[in-house]
Amino acid sequence: MTAPLSTELGRRAGGGPAAVELRDVSRHYGTKHDLVRALDGVSVAFAEGSWTAVMGPSGSGKSTLLHCAAGLERVSGGQVLLTGDDITAADDAALTRLRRSRIGFVFQSFNLIGSLTAEQNVALPLKLAGQRVPARQVRQVLASVGLDERRRHRPRELSGGQQQRVAIARAMVTRPSVLFADEPTGALDSASARQVLRLLREMVDRAGQTIVMVTHDPAAAASADSVMFLSDGRIVDHAAAPTAAEVAERLARLEA
Ligand SMILES: Nc1ncnc2c1ncn2[C@@H]1O[C@H](COP(=O)(O)OP(=O)(O)OP(=O)(O)O)[C@@H](O)[C@H]1O
């Protein structure tokens, strides 16, 4: 069996706490007789301003890692820290507040509300958090994803790539410490996927955004600063700035 790998990913400016850190995290499902170790002793620190891709065979624990790191799922053991704050034992109300203010999430299927316009979708996290919704801020965020002109459109009037950019704007409107993305390009054609990846790159380079992204696509993974590989709930490999071909080759070895 491959030994678990403890790893620190990305650059760490000024030695401050990592944007997100998992310490010896495990997540089990099922019963004693039928136990699935979705995560099995994962230790990893995602540095502020870094973009990490998470890869691995189907069922290796990628989504579980993202959900545990984002406080969407509770861990069975270990600790989760968000900019140094231990959120492992936070109660549901605290986790909800956290997800509304410090964490952004983007899904493969966009998850926009069909009856709301782009700007209403983007404003939603602020409304849910009981905050004032400054129209200028909403327009700015939509402009930053290149969709100011489309702000009055509903999701069905937008292409898949445009919908995903609205979803990214919605995740960014609260200025989260970390953006988690689960297969953000999985439902997009290659041109739209490239556009979304360029946008994520700009967010990292210009605004110092931290991004943790699950993907099956070696080309998408190669857009990140580094790639970590999971297998059977453990980190088994990582690579700094690999090419798509290198990513595909490492993944094929894990799937063999
Ligand atoms: N709610 C659940 N109940 C039981 N088992 C679960 C649950 N969620 C995940 N699992 C199991 O945990 C393991 C890891 O699942 P996870 O979805 O994290 O993998 P993944 O790497 O994201 O897979 P994929 O690439 O297919 O989306 C799998 O064996 C899965 O069947």
pLDDT single digits (tens) 61-108 = 999 999 999 999 999 999 999 999 999 999 999 998 888 889 999 999
State the ipTM, two decimals. Answer: 0.97
Residue 231 lies in a domain: no
Binding site membership of 63 for ligand 1 (Cβ less than 6 Å): yes
| Ligand 1 geometric centre to CA of 63 (Å) | 7
242 is a domain residue: no
Do residues 109 and 52 make contact, with C-beta atoms less than 8 angstroms apart?
A: no
14-32: average pLDDT: 90
142: its two tokens: 């939509």
Q: How far apart are CA 20 and CA 12, in angstroms?
A: 12
Give the pLDDT confidence score for residue 1 in this predicted structure.
Answer: 41
Mean pLDDT of the region 135-142: 92
Of ligand 1's atoms, which has the minimum distance to the CA of residue 66?
18
Measure the CA dihedral 44/47/50/55, to 10°: 0
Say if ligand 1 is within 6 A of residue 64 CB.
Answer: yes
* Token pair recorded at residue 225: 């600063």
The partner residues of 179 in beta bridges, in order of sequence, read 104, 211
Q: Do the domain assignments include residue 114?
A: yes
Residue 71 Cβ inside 6 Å of ligand 1? The answer reads no
Q: Which atom from ligand 1 is nearest to the alpha carbon of 183?
A: 27
Question: Would residue 119 count as lying in a domain?
Answer: yes
Residue nearest to atom 3 of ligand 1 (CA): 29
Place of tokens 């009037």: 157
pTM across the whole model: 0.92
Number of domains in the chain: 1
Q: Mean pLDDT over all residues of the chain?
A: 91
Task: For residue 115, tell me if it sits in a domain.
Answer: yes
Domain that holds residue 120: 109-175
Q: Is the residue at 56 inside a domain?
A: no
User: Measuring CA to CA, which residue among 46, 54, 5 is closest to residue 229?
Assistant: 54
166 inside domain? yes
Q: Is 170 inside a domain boundary? A: yes
Ligand 1 centre distance from Cα of residue 76 (Å): 15
- For the segment 215-251, what is each residue's pLDDT rounded down to a tens digit? 999 999 999 999 999 999 999 999 999 999 999 999 9
Q: Which of 103, 70, 86, 83 is nearest to 18 (CA)?
A: 83
212 in Cβ contact with 242 (< 8 Å) = no
